[in-house]
Structure 1
Amino acid sequence: MTPDAVAPQAPTFPADWPAFGQGCSPLGDIFQEMGEPAARDLLETAWTGGIRYFDTAPWYGHGLSEHRLGGFLRQFDRRDFVLSTKVGRVYDPAPRGKDARINWAGGLNFAVRYDYSAAGFEAALTQSRLRLGLPVVDALVIHDLDRGYHGAAYDGHLRDLTDSGLAYLQDLRARGEIGAIGMGMNSTAEFAALAGEIDVDFFLVAIPYTLLDQDALDGPMATCLQRGIAIVIGAPFASGVLAAPRAPGIRYQYRPVTEEIRGKALAIEAVCARHGISLPGAALRFPLLHPAVVSVVPGVDGAAQLRANLDAMRPEPPHAMWAELKAAGLLRADAPTGG
């Protein structure tokens, strides 16, 4: 039976996943270096603010995010928080005298290699447990396996996943060593290609479903709902423009924002303001209105922005606001908005 023939069903996992989490890429110095005091302040603010779901990855600062997060979380009862990290990258010491750091403003000097096989996943998990200082993670996410990212190496990586990597993760889950298997998606095309093919518990969707772009509704979001696969939304601010559209140097989809996109974000902001809702508040709330979405996990660049996000999440946007956005052509007419 194809996914299209399956009756829609709400995701059964994870039933108790927190609706609001913390994406931890900034702890790895994603766009700017974050000193240790600022990193600690951010995590303390998150915990005090009630956040109990933290998502990290070896890729974030080449291990730095996991080191910082684990150092903080080790002081709490392991049953009191949910932790996910990722597999697909394994790290080796950088050759002496060489700076192997790539794609990050800072981070640790370790050299990355990609491996989506069972052996690669086992090595990645072992390294993550040691960096975190925590023997148990709640979920493992298959990280950045998309054609646009890997190019000619994609087919080999996908073959490694389907030949042995996914079975390894399923075995971990069956033994109770992890609670869930996820897969990260950065593009709508790759999300659509894999949503009906890969047997995971949830997709961690970083860009394809936000206030600025709902193209994923046309296929993969519906497929996940039909298959009972949960969705966690990462990057609900679309790399920043939905948090601060006027800020210089702001990004959209990890690139400098175009004036067209900035203009759309400002138009959305104006509608939200008429209803007493901030743009960040609307961006955080919107994905949760889709019945497949169980959580949003924004990354923030500091404690002040996190406090602003927590404040922005409190007012419930009125249905009239979503209706006005649809009427103005700023939101797809078929986007789920409750009411």
Structure 2
Amino acid sequence: MAQGFSKRRVGQTALEVTTLGLGGASLAGIFSRVPDEQARATVQHAHDLGINYFDTAPQYGYGRSEHLVGDVLRGRREGTVLSSKVGRLLKPLQGDWAKPHNWIDPLPFDEVYDYSYDGIMRSVEDSLARLGLNAVDILYVHDIGTMTHGEEANKPLWQQLASGGYKALRELRDSGVVSGIGLGVNEWEVIMDAFELGDWDVFLLAGRYTLLEQTSLDPFMTTCLQRGASVVVGGPFNSGILVGGSTWNYGKAPEEIVEKVRAIEAVCKQFDVPLPAAALQFPLTHPAVCNVLPGPRSPEELDEIVGWWNTEIPEELWSALAEKRLLAEGTPIPGGRA
């Protein structure tokens, strides 16, 4: 049964997305296996519930996620918004993978980084073939930056984007092939560099604007407002630490992070609000955010997320977090700022 999810506009485009979306990384089996039928059922359930924004990428399961998402959305594209990513081309695997990865049972391909004009144009065609669709709505430049590549290795890749890749994205948008372009990254600093290349519509930023961390508040989020760009918040649970896990930023959480989570959870308990519910709903207090993008692995996990999403949270909870300095100064909250 469809839920009453509110919608927000994506940047200055005509796209409108439900404020809750579905991320396609977990469905491809990151860290643990997800059967194909379970993954498809999760996408179908999200669509049935009224969620209209779906995100995927060539990297996710080395093509598996795009195949699975396309299987469900094929014939159901009306009213949906679909994003995929560029920057990685897939080549048939010969022998072992070139580097370790966290995918369980990925498709037999390896990735080659390519942020050039030709690489981006080819990436789009390859993604459409895997999806079995004739269009996507948003393209993100995937994982460019020092966090993924290291400082030295990133320099020539950034030059690819600056000298031709951005031109390709602009051509795709200006010709109407896609409606929005942006970056999909884990570090906000590289997006500030991207603003120097030109205009963008939306950024998928994972883990840097959450209930636990607001390091991107200024200058990134403020610049997005000034430039008319939206933010999709990925990783709202900070890799699991905000939903009862011990992982933060894809690794074991240090003690100072564990202590801060305990302090936040104590405030949530005062108001009888589950910590995951506060974590899911927090990003939407910022006017630049158009969508929160969790990655459930099953319809049951999605139902749990929707339950947290529909939990009523009193404004006093946010004020209490601000008073205890558990939110960064200047963080927008209902009724004012932290």
TM over 0.5: yes
| Equivalent residue, structure 2, for 1:287 | 283
Deviation at 1:303, TM superposition (A): 2.2
Structure 2 residue 324 is matched with structure 1 residue 328 = yes
Q: Which moved more, 1:36-45 or 1:291-300?
A: 36-45
Deviation, 1:314, is 1.0
Alpha-carbon deviation of 1:305? 1.8
1:198 and 1:239 mapped to 2: Cα distance? 31
Report the AA paired with residue 50 of structure 1. G
* SS at 2:83 equivalent: strand
> Structure 2-normalised TM-score?
0.91
Please identify, of 65-74 and 185-194, the stretch whose mean Cα deviation from structure 2 is larger. Answer: 185-194
TM superposition score normalised by structure 1: 0.90
Q: Does residue 299 in structure 1 map to residue 295 in structure 2? A: yes
CA distance in 2, matches of 1:185, 1:92: 22
In the alignment, residue 59 of structure 2 is paired with which amino acid? W
Q: Which runs of 4+ in 1 moved over 6 A?
A: none
The answer on whether the counterparts of 1:182 and 1:203 sit within 8 Å (CA) in structure 2 is: yes
Q: Matches of residues 229-248 of structure 1 in structure 2 within 5 Å?
A: 229-244=229-244, 247=245
Matched-pair contact (CA < 8 Å) for 1:32–1:106:
no
Q: 1:287 to 1:196 in 2, by over 3 A?
A: farther
Partner of 1:208: 208
The 8 Å contact of residues 195 and 220 in structure 1, kept in 2 or not, is answered as: no
| 2:7 counterpart residue number | none
Cα distance in 2 between the residues matched to 1:99 and 1:227: 40
Letter aligned with residue 199 of structure 2? D
User: Number of residues paired by the alignment?
Assistant: 324
Q: What is the rounded CA distance, in whole Å, between the counterparts of 1:197 and 1:164 in structure 2?
A: 11
Q: CA deviation at 1:90?
A: 0.3
How many percent of aligned residue pairs carry the same amino acid?
40
Q: Deviations 1:215-264 (Å, cap 9, x if unpaired)?
A: 111211111111111111111111111122xx4xx311111122321222
Task: Tell me the amino acid that sits aligned with residue 129 of structure 2.
Answer: L
Deviations along 1:82-126, one digit per CA (max 9) or x if unpaired, are: 10000000011111x434573322211101100001100011111
1:120 matched to 2:116: no
Q: Secondary structure at the match of 2:183?
A: strand
- How far apart are the structure 2 equivalents of 1:15 and 1:48? 20
Aligned CA RMSD, in angstroms, stands at 1.8
AA at the equivalent of 2:105: G
The answer (yes or no) to whether the contact 2:88–2:114 under 8 Å persists in 1 is yes
The correspondence of residues 118-267 of structure 1 with structure 2, limited to 5 A, is: 118-151=117-150, 152-195=152-195, 197-244=197-244, 247=245, 250-267=246-263
Is the 1:49–1:310 contact (alpha carbons within 8 Å) kept by the matching residues of 2?
A: no
Please name the residue that 2:312 is paired with. Answer: 316
1:93 equivalent to 2:92? Answer yes
Counterpart of 1:171 in 2: which secondary structure? helix
Amino acid at match of 2:304: A
Q: Is the 8 A contact 2:21 2:293 kept in 1?
A: yes
Which residue of the partner structure matches residue 265 of structure 2?
269
CA distance in 1, matches of 2:237, 2:169: 30
Deviation string, structure 1 residues 115-158 (Cα, Å, up to 9, x no partner): 00110001111110011001110010000000232122211111
Contact 1:30 1:106 in 2 (8 A): no
Q: Which amino acid aligns with 2:270?
A: R
- Contact in 2 for aligned 1:188/1:216 (Cα 8 Å): yes
1:194 positional shift = 3.7
Q: Is the 8 A contact 1:13 1:229 kept in 2?
A: no
Corresponding position of 2:110: 111
1:277-307 Cα distance to aligned partner (Å, 9 max, x none): 2211111111111111111111123222211
Q: Which amino acid aligns with 2:35?
A: G
Local SS of the residue matching 1:241: helix
Once residues 211 and 226 of structure 2 are traced to their aligned partners in structure 1, the CA distance between those partners, rounded to angstroms, is 23
